[in-house]
């Protein structure tokens, strides 16, 4: 029973990480830039979602607010700033680093430093019981919703014309442009989608993780571990990486609580030693 | 004669102007985190201090105050730099504030060497006023970390009747000292700590640790502090533990600021601290009312710490006629001081410069629409040495991860 609980926890936490990691990976795919401001989308999504959900008493409106706002933020960041530095990877990474600090201070200014936590919506509160197995209903909801998002992302990327254009733009932007794909527009769209996914994760995560200054860096660290293990820019890699981090984190902490960070950073180092580009990296 | 009269008049005039000149100000340096993650805590402390100064028209012991506020960003290095600046360029008479214990430890040598009276308002590291106490340091705000753990261990065994408990605490000095103090008093009162789980500071997900809690215990003692306390309490309920195992612990978990964010998951939690905004005494009622009027929120223990520390300094200065020129005399004045009219109850110092104060056992209750920490039991005048002899107590090592050893773990 101990093990079933641990694995279920690990999968649920992994699926939340998938939402963040897949956004980071998508943005890297089209921009070739590790977006260090990715944790900020999570933070802002969480703050806005918490505020709107508490004010309107509607969790759905909270989600909508978090997703739309981070999507717009992503569009502005990409079109007004990052795009000007096309190809200059160092400048772009520094720019995202700047945004990380800027948005952290801005959030502290707007929302103050008091930690906040969103109430779990009534329909999703309580836990599911089967024999001795107890699992929070809300975490089940997160897992299922994230799995749906993963499926949708997979279908769009692999089965649609849009997905084919994205893959072409990732593999060879110049050739794709030459074949009539509007690569800049596509990059903006993917950047917005990636930011929105992180914003969604922020709203979904706030009832169990809460939100406070510093939550952005906490999540960014985990998201980086996910994409580094899975391979940056790879969709199946992100899925495997998030499940790996979720499970390793849970099982490692339960078995060796004193070595909690080693539990997933050590396997990560090992994987990188054997496959420097991650499990699914090319 | 005429000249003599003129001379006399002149002398009188000079004496008159000297007499009318405002007395030179007392210079107080205040150091606390005002940016970063701990900014809200520092702000609450500062609010409390400012509320007191506002009530005295910015005077201490009837002298005007020059109150210099410095931000240490919760970093010991920055704190030390700011303290040097306050001493060497602002020539402060005394220092106060200090939330980070590491900062307080780091400045001990300097304040003793320079003889700067320092009134700690929050930092709780046990050894600040135990093994290796600085001569010029006294602690008013919170007391030592294990000071409010001893009575709680006693309460859990004798009043709550728990025999077996598991502990889950932050893996850093506060968690070690608090759990250590709890364990000693709890086991001396007949209880057994059967599992001690340490979690890294700021854990995102407590579920793996919650899964490790043995189910055959009477209660779980959780000492998780800071912003993650909210998620700890939430996750504890989420996994269905609240219905089966009571959660008890230090009052940080249900700090008045946290309670604003909490819901049903917090109701019924039994915690301990030297303060609660719901304390029923005339000074606290006035304090809560004035604090709410000025800052539009409910004071927490940090706000009280700022207020009571300012009050303490005021009374100590009055004892030395407002003069801090003899710094050792000022420390001695504080050591003999007894203050009865503070929001948190009567205060005095022990032989090691640490506050002796009431420790309250509180239960979270819903009153109207808001949650509050209702006081259900009071341990009066608790010292950091609890019921032990100070010399014997100090011969033991400071409480740590492995001290006291967990003799009943796994049994």
A95-110 pLDDT per residue, tens: 999 999 999 989 988 9
Is A214 touching B (CB cutoff 8 A)?
Answer: yes
Three-class HEC string of chain B: CHHHHHHHHHHHHHHHHHHHCCCCCEEEEEEECCCCCCHHHHHHHHHHHHHHHHHCCCEECCEEEEEEEEECCCCHHHHHHHHHHHHHCCCCCEEEECCCHHHHHHHHHHHHHHCCCEEECCCCCHHHCCCCCCCCEEECCCCCHHHHCHHHHHHHHHCCCCCEEEEEEECCHHHHHHHHHHHHHHHHCCCEEEEEEEECCCCCCCHHHHHHCCCCCCEEEEECCCCHHHHHHHHHHHCCCCCCCCEEEEHHHHCHHHHCCCCHHHCCCEEEECCCCCCCCHHHHHHHHHHHHHHCCCCCHHHHHHHHHHHHHHHHHHHCCCCCCCHHHHHHHHHCCEECCCCCCCEEECCCCEEEEEEEEEEEEEECCEEEEEEEEEEEEECCCCCCCHHHHHHCCCCECCECCCCCCCC
Task: Show the domain range for A257.
Answer: 2-274
Percent of chain B with pLDDT over 90: 78
Average pLDDT over residues B14-35: 75
CATH of the domain at B192: 3.40.50.2300
Is A149 touching B (CB cutoff 8 A)?
Answer: no
Q: Based on the structure, what is the number of domains in chain B?
A: 2
Query: Could you give the CA distance from residue B188 to residue B178 in angstroms, rounded to a whole number?
Result: 16
Average pLDDT over residues A228-232: 88
pLDDT in tens, A144-179: 999 999 999 999 988 999 999 988 888 888 898 999
State the best of B73, B234, B236, B253 to mutate against chain A, taking most chain A CBs within 10 Å: B234
Residues 6+ apart with CB under 8 A from B395: none
Residue A152 located in a structural domain: yes
pLDDT of residue B9: 55
* Residue A103 near residue A40, CB atoms below 8 Å: yes
Rounded to 5 degrees, what are φ and ψ at B345? 115, -175
Which value, to the nearest 10 degrees, does the dihedral of the CA atoms of residues B214, B219, B220, B222 take? Answer: 180
A185-to-A41, A80, A83, A192, B176 alpha-carbon distances in Å: 21, 13, 11, 11, 55
Residue B8 located in a structural domain: no
Rounded to 5 degrees, what are φ and ψ at A189? -60, -45
Same domain for B183 and B330, yes or no, is: no
pLDDT of residue B2: 54
Chain A residues inside the 8 Å CB shell of B229: 115
- Final residue of a structural domain among B353, B374, B405: B353
Asked if the Cβ–Cβ distance from A254 to B200 is below 8 Å, we say no
Asked if the Cβ–Cβ distance from A257 to B204 is below 8 Å, we say no
CATH of the domain at A72: 1.10.3470
A231 phi-psi bin (left φ>0, alpha ψ -120 to 50, beta other): left
Percent of chain B with pLDDT over 70: 95
Is A25 touching B (CB cutoff 8 A)?
Answer: no
B227 vs A108, A210, A251: nearest CB: A210
Residue keyed to tokens 């940090």: B302
Is B38 touching A (CB cutoff 8 A)?
Answer: yes
Best CA proximity match to B402, nearest among A258, A142, A82: A258
Query: Could you give the CA distance from residue B77 to residue B72 in angstroms, rounded to a whole number?
Result: 8
Query: Could you give the CA distance from residue A90 to residue A80 in angstroms, rounded to a whole number?
Result: 17
Task: Show the domain range for B36.
Answer: 26-143+280-353
Minimum distance, in Å, between the CA of residue A48 and any CA atom of chain B? 15
pLDDT of residue B6: 54
Q: Based on the structure, what is the number of domains in chain A?
A: 1
Average pLDDT over residues B235-254: 92
Query: Could you give the CA distance from residue A119 to residue B265 in angstroms, rounded to a whole number?
Result: 10
Average pLDDT over residues B276-304: 96
The answer to whether residue B146 scores a pLDDT higher than 70 is yes
Res. B19 pLDDT band, cuts 50 70 90: very low
Is A138 touching B (CB cutoff 8 A)?
Answer: yes
Asked if the Cβ–Cβ distance from B239 to A210 is below 8 Å, we say no
Q: Please tell me the least confidently modeled range out of A197-206, B4-13, B100-109.
A: B4-13
Check residues A79 and A112 and name the one with the higher pLDDT: A79
pLDDT of residue B3: 53
Same domain for B313 and B262, yes or no, is: no
pLDDT of residue B12: 52
Give the distance from CA B274 to its chain's centroid: 8
Find the helix packing angle between A183-209 and A38-56, rounded to 10°.
Answer: 60
- Give the dihedral sign, CA B328/B333/B336/B340: negative
Percent of chain A with pLDDT over 70: 100
Average pLDDT over residues A14-37: 91
Is B295 touching A (CB cutoff 8 A)?
Answer: no
Encode burial over B339-375: b for 16+ CB neighbours within 10 A, e otherwise.
beebbbbebbbbebbbbbbbbbbbbbbeeeeebbbbb
Check residues B283 and B326 and name the one with the higher pLDDT: B283
A127 vs B39, B200, B239: nearest CB: B239
Find the helix packing angle between A183-209 and A161-171, rounded to 10°.
Answer: 100
Average predicted confidence (pLDDT) for chain B: 91
Residue A279 located in a structural domain: no
Minimum distance, in Å, between the CA of residue B355 and any CA atom of chain A? 28
Residue A56 located in a structural domain: yes
Query: Could you give the CA distance from residue A82 to residue A84 in angstroms, rounded to a whole number?
Result: 5
Same domain for B372 and B336, yes or no, is: no
The pair of structure tokens assigned to B193 is: 């700590």
Rounded to 5 degrees, what are φ and ψ at B66? -105, 110
Cβ contacts from A onto B, under 8 A: 106
Q: What is the Cα Rg of chain B in Å?
A: 23
Q: Which of A161-165, A180-184, B207-211, B373-377 has the highest mean pLDDT?
A: B373-377
Average predicted confidence (pLDDT) for chain A: 90
Same domain for B244 and B296, yes or no, is: no
Average pLDDT over residues B344-370: 96
Average pLDDT over residues B327-337: 92
Asked if the Cβ–Cβ distance from B204 to A6 is below 8 Å, we say no
B198 vs A129, A249, A258: nearest CB: A258
Best CA proximity match to B406, nearest among B213, B195, B154: B195
Average pLDDT over residues B329-338: 93
Rounded to 5 degrees, what are φ and ψ at B225? -120, 170
Same domain for B232 and B379, yes or no, is: yes
* Residue B121 near residue B96, CB atoms below 8 Å: yes
Asked if the Cβ–Cβ distance from A209 to B238 is below 8 Å, we say no
Query: Could you give the CA distance from residue B101 to residue B122 in angstroms, rounded to a whole number?
Result: 8
The answer to whether residue B18 scores a pLDDT higher than 70 is no
The answer to whether residue B55 scores a pLDDT higher than 50 is yes
Same domain for B137 and B98, yes or no, is: yes
Q: What is the Cα Rg of chain A in Å?
A: 19
Which value, to the nearest 10 degrees, does the dihedral of the CA atoms of residues A46, A48, A50, A53 take? Answer: -130
Residue of A nearest to B196 (CA): A257
Strand order in the sheet with B118-120: B59-60, B63-71, B26-32, B94-97, B118-120, B137-139
Residue B186 located in a structural domain: yes
Average pLDDT over residues B393-397: 96
Beta strands B59-60; B63-71: pairing state? antiparallel
Tell me, what DSSP letter sits at residue A257? G
The answer to whether residue B157 scores a pLDDT higher than 90 is yes
pLDDT of residue A114: 79
pLDDT of residue B219: 97
The pair of structure tokens assigned to B92 is: 């402060």
Res. B131 pLDDT band, cuts 50 70 90: very high
The answer to whether residue B411 scores a pLDDT higher than 80 is no
Residue of B nearest to A212 (CA): B227
* Residue B338 near residue B346, CB atoms below 8 Å: yes
Helix ranges (H only) for A57-182 are 59-76, 89-111, 137-159, 161-171, 173-178
Percent of chain A with pLDDT over 90: 55
Same domain for B267 and B391, yes or no, is: yes
Residue B296 located in a structural domain: yes
pLDDT of residue B21: 56
Residue of A nearest to B226 (CA): A115
Res. B22 pLDDT band, cuts 50 70 90: low
State the best of B261, B300, B302, B303 to mutate against chain A, taking most chain A CBs within 10 Å: B261
> Is B313 exposed, middle or buried (CB count within 10 Å of its CB: 0-12, 13-18, 19+)?
buried
Same domain for B173 and B85, yes or no, is: no
Best CA proximity match to B23, nearest among B80, B82, B64: B64
Residue A280 located in a structural domain: no
Residue B411 located in a structural domain: no
The answer to whether residue B333 scores a pLDDT higher than 50 is yes
Give the distance from CA A271 to its chain's centroid: 21
Collapse the DSSP code of A256 into the 3-class scheme (helix H, G, I; strand E, B; otherwise coil) and give the result.
coil
Asked if the Cβ–Cβ distance from B227 to A2 is below 8 Å, we say no
* Residue B65 near residue B53, CB atoms below 8 Å: yes
Check residues A134 and B329 and name the one with the higher pLDDT: B329
Res. B1 pLDDT band, cuts 50 70 90: very low
* Residue B84 near residue B47, CB atoms below 8 Å: no
Enumerate long-range contacts of A144-149, CB under 8 Å, 24 or more apart.
A145/A204, A146/A15, A146/A16, A146/A18, A146/A19, A146/A204, A147/A15, A149/A18, A149/A19, A149/A22, A149/A197, A149/A200
Omega before residue B53 within 30° of 0, cis: no
Average pLDDT over residues B53-64: 95
């Amino acid at each position: 029973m101990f093990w079933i609980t641990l694995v279920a926890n690990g999968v649920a936490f992994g699926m939340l990480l998938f939402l963040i990691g897949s956004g980071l990976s998508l943005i890297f795919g089209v921009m070739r830039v590790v977006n260090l401001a990715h944790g900020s989308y999570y933070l802002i999504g969480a703050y806005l979602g918490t505020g709107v959900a508490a004010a309107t008493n509607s969790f759905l409106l909270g989600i909508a607010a978090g997703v739309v706002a981070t999507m717009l933020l992503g569009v502005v960041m990409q079109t007004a700033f990052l795009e000007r530095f096309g190809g200059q990877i160092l400048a772009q990474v520094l720019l995202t680093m700047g945004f990380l600090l800027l948005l952290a201070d801005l959030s502290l200014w707007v929302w103050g430093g008091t930690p906040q936590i969103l109430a779990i919506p009534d329909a999703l509160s309580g836990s599911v019981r089967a024999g001795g197995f107890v699992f929070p209903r809300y975490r089940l909801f997160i897992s299922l919703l994230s799995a749906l998002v993963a499926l949708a992302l997979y279908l769009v990327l692999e089965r649609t014309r849009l997905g084919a254009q994205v893959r072409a733009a990732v593999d060879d932007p110049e050739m794709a442009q030459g074949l009539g794909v509007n690569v800049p527009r596509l990059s903006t769209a993917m950047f917005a989608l990636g930011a929105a996914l992180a914003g969604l994760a922020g709203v979904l995560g706030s009832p169990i993780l809460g939100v406070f200054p510093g939550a952005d860096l906490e999540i960014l660290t985990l998201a980086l571990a996910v994409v580094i293990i899975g391979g940056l820019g790879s969709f199946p890699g992100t899925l495997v990486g998030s499940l790996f981090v979720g499970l390793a984190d849970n099982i490692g902490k339960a078995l060796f609580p004193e070595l909690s960070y080693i539990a997933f950073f050590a396997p990560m180092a090992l994987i990188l030693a054997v496959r420097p580009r991650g499990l699914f990296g090319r | 004669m005429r000249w003599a009269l003129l001379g006399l008049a002149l002398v009188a005039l000079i004496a008159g102007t000297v007499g009318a000149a405002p007395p030179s100000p007392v210079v107080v340096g205040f150091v606390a985190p005002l940016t970063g993650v701990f900014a809200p805590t520092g702000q609450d402390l500062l609010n409390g201090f400012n509320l007191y100064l506002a009530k005295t028209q910015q005077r201490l012991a009837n002298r005007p105050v020059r109150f210099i506020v410095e931000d240490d960003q919760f970093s010991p290095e920055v704190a030390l730099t700011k303290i040097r600046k306050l001493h060497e360029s602002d020539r402060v008479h005394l220092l106060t504030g200090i939330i980070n214990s590491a900062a307080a430890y780091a400045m001990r040598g300097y304040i003793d060497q320079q003889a700067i009276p320092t009134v700690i308002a929050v930092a709780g590291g046990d050894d600040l006023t135990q093994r290796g106490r600085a001569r010029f340091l006294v602690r008013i705000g919170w007391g030592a970390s294990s000071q409010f753990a001893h009575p709680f261990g006693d309460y859990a065994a004798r009043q709550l009747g728990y025999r077996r408990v598991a502990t889950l605490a932050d893996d850093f000095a506060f968690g070690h000292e608090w759990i250590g103090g709890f364990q000693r008093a709890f086991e001396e009162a007949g209880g057994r700590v059967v599992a001690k789980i340490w979690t890294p500071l700021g854990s995102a997900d407590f579920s793996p640790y919650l899964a490790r809690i043995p189910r055959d215990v009477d209660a779980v003692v959780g000492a998780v502090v800071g912003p993650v306390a909210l998620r700890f309490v939430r996750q504890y309920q989420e996994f269905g533990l609240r219905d089966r195992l009571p959660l008890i612990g230090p009052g940080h978990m249900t700090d008045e600021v946290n309670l604003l964010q909490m819901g049903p998951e917090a109701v019924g939690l039994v915690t301990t601290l030297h303060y609660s905004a719901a304390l029923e005494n005339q000074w606290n009622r006035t304090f809560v009312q004035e604090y709410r009027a000025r800052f539009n929120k409910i004071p927490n223990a940090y706000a009280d710490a700022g207020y009571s520390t300012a009050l303490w300094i005021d009374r100590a200065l009055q004892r030395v006629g407002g003069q801090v020129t003899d710094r050792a005399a000022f420390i001695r004045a504080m050591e003999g001081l007894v203050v009865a009219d503070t929001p948190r109850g009567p205060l005095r110092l022990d032989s090691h410069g640490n506050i002796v104060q009431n420790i309250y056992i509180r239960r979270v209750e819903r009153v109207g629409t808001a949650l509050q920490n209702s006081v259900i039991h009071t341990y009066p005048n608790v010292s950091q040495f609890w019921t032990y002899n100070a010399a014997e107590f100090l011969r033991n090592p400071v409480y740590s991860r492995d001290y006291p050893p967990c003799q009943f773990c796994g049994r």
